């Protein structure tokens, strides 16, 4: 099992030279409290730009992207125009899909993700362009055959129509094999101090209650090519674990957690466990011993409250729920329900 882990780790490290540029566009119908259209630009899973149908403009999300926009105003103008035109196209597309699928009401979501990946060691470029509708793949471009594939039967007529548009297919091929990689390389070069940095995380042991799993939580690391696992007696442990996904933080860094379920761990065996965080490209791992004294928790036993305090605490705990209930009633009244 240790050999398998090292193989997986090697494969993960081997992918560190790959960079990606992704455009994620989302249109909604029948969904309240969010814009009808949202567009994101991502490089190496870091959000660079944002636009939506409410703001009607493109907004840089990183300081170095703002500097790039100042040096090249036409670059930002292109995004502003693209945001505006995409809103109109997506609004028409989602209305057309609802008619074709006989959907007269309800909430519906149309998404497009396109872009490219570039391996700066081998020079390999991979392009991608796909649509999803209501959480399922709808139609996907195959750049090898220059044809569209339709995972859903409802998209077959679209596939036939788009396959017949040879000029568009040739444009797609050129864009994803030439234009997109050029833009990606420019972003990676211009933002290299940010995108190619290495930040180690802070690692904590967290627990909700004494009977809850102990979560080994790392946050603030960059890049996202990281692994975290529990060890027992120095060997990787695979039982009674709950592995979390790597998630983005608002500042462009990442976080991950792995929970260890303690129900099968005797108190005297705690000292045999530790949590290991490995960041690709960094030689030394961060090792955190399973130590009760190091666990952070907000839980307090009711018996530890001074007399008269319990009622106050219960009231404070109920307050958010009451506020939410009040907000719900207020919305209902203002909607005339």
Q: Which of 164, 195, 226 is at the close of a domain? A: 195
In a domain, 3, yes or no: no
DSSP SS3 for 68: helix
Assess whether 39 and 143 both reside in one domain. yes
Assess whether 231 and 260 both reside in one domain. yes
Residue 310: predicted pLDDT:
40
pLDDT > 90 in the chain, percent: 57
pLDDT > 70 in the chain, percent: 84
Give the structural domain span for 79. 17-195
Kindly state the average pLDDT of the residues 190-209: 92
Kindly state the average pLDDT of the residues 133-158: 94
Residue 189: predicted pLDDT:
92
Work out the mean pLDDT of the chain and round it to a whole number.
Answer: 84
Assess whether 37 and 158 both reside in one domain. yes
Rounded Cα gap, residues 213 and 230, in angstroms: 13
DSSP states of 73-130: HHHHHHHHHHHHHHHHHHHHHHHHHHHHTT--SS-EEEEEEEEEEEETTT--EEEEEE
Ordered alpha helix ranges (H), the chain: 2-14, 63-71, 73-100, 156-163, 166-174, 180-190, 192-195, 309-334
> Is the bond preceding 223 in cis, omega lying within 30 degrees of 0?
yes
Assess whether 155 and 48 both reside in one domain. yes
In a domain, 166, yes or no: yes
In a domain, 303, yes or no: no
Q: What is the CATH number of the domain that holds 210?
A: 2.60.40.10
As given in the structure block, the two tokens for residue 153 are 């039967």
DSSP SS3 for 254: strand
Assess whether 62 and 28 both reside in one domain. yes
In a domain, 288, yes or no: yes
Contact 324, 332 (CB under 8 A): no
Assess whether 208 and 190 both reside in one domain. no
Assess whether 186 and 221 both reside in one domain. no
Residue closest to 26 by CA, chosen among 97, 111, 139 = 111
Q: Which of 173, 195, 217 is at the close of a domain? A: 195
Assess whether 209 and 183 both reside in one domain. no
Rounded Cα gap, residues 130 and 43, in angstroms: 18
Q: Which of 195, 212, 235 is at the close of a domain? A: 195
Read off the pLDDT of residues 58-104 as tens digits, 9 standing for 90 and up.
Answer: 899 988 999 988 888 888 888 989 988 999 999 999 999 999 888 98
Q: What is the CATH number of the domain that holds 38?
A: 3.30.500.10
Assess whether 258 and 284 both reside in one domain. yes
On the question of pLDDT at 316 being above 80, the answer is no
Assess whether 134 and 164 both reside in one domain. yes
Distances in Å between the Cα of 187 and the Cα atoms of 44, 110, 158, 182, 316 are 10, 27, 33, 9, 48
Residue 305: predicted pLDDT:
46
Read off the pLDDT of residues 18-48 as tens digits, 9 standing for 90 and up.
Answer: 899 999 999 999 998 889 999 999 999 889 9
220: left (phi over 0), alpha (psi -120 to 50) or beta: left
Assess whether 38 and 158 both reside in one domain. yes
How many domains in the chain? 2
Read off the pLDDT of residues 249-304 as tens digits, 9 standing for 90 and up.
Answer: 988 899 999 999 988 788 899 999 999 999 988 999 999 999 999 999 887 655 55
Residue 14: predicted pLDDT:
39
Assess whether 236 and 96 both reside in one domain. no
């Amino acid at each position: 099992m240790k050999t398998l882990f090292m193989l997986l780790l090697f494969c993960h490290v081997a992918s560190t030279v790959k960079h990606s540029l992704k455009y994620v566009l989302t249109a909604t119908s029948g969904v309240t409290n969010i814009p009808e259209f949202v567009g994101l630009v991502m490089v190496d899973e870091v959000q660079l730009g944002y636009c939506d149908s409410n703001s009607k403009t493109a907004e840089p999300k990183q300081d170095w992207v703002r500097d790039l926009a100042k040096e090249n105003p036409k670059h930002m103008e292109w995004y502003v125009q693209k945001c505006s035109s995409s809103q109109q196209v997506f609004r028409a597309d989602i209305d057309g899909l609802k008619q074709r699928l006989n959907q007269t009401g309800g909430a519906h979501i149309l998404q497009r993700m396109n872009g490219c990946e570039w391996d700066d060691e081998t020079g390999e470029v991979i392009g991608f362009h796909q649509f999803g509708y209501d959480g399922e793949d709808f139609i996907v471009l195959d750049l090898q055959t220059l044809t569209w594939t339709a995972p859903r039967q409802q998209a077959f007529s679209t596939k036939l129509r788009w396959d017949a548009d040879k000029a568009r297919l040739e444009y797609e091929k050129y864009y994803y094999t030439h234009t997109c990689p050029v833009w990606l390389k420019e972003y990676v070069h211009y933002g290299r101090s940010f995108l190619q940095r290495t930040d180690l995380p802070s690692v904590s042991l967290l627990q909700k209650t004494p009977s809850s799993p102990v979560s080994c939580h790392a946050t603030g690391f960059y890049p996202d090519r990281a692994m975290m696992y529990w060890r027992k007696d120095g060997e990787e442990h695979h039982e009674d674990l709950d592995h979390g996904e790597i998630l983005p933080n608002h500042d462009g860094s990442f976080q991950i957690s792995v929970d260890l379920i303690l129900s099968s761990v005797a108190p005297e065996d705690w000292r045999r466990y530790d949590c290991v965080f490995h960041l690709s490209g960094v030689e030394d791992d961060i090792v955190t011993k399973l130590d009760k004294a190091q666990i952070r928790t907000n839980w307090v036993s009711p018996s530890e409250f001074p007399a008269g305090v319990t009622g106050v605490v219960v009231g404070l705990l109920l307050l958010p729920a009451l506020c939410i209930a009040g907000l719900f009633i207020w919305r209902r009244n203002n909607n005339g329900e």
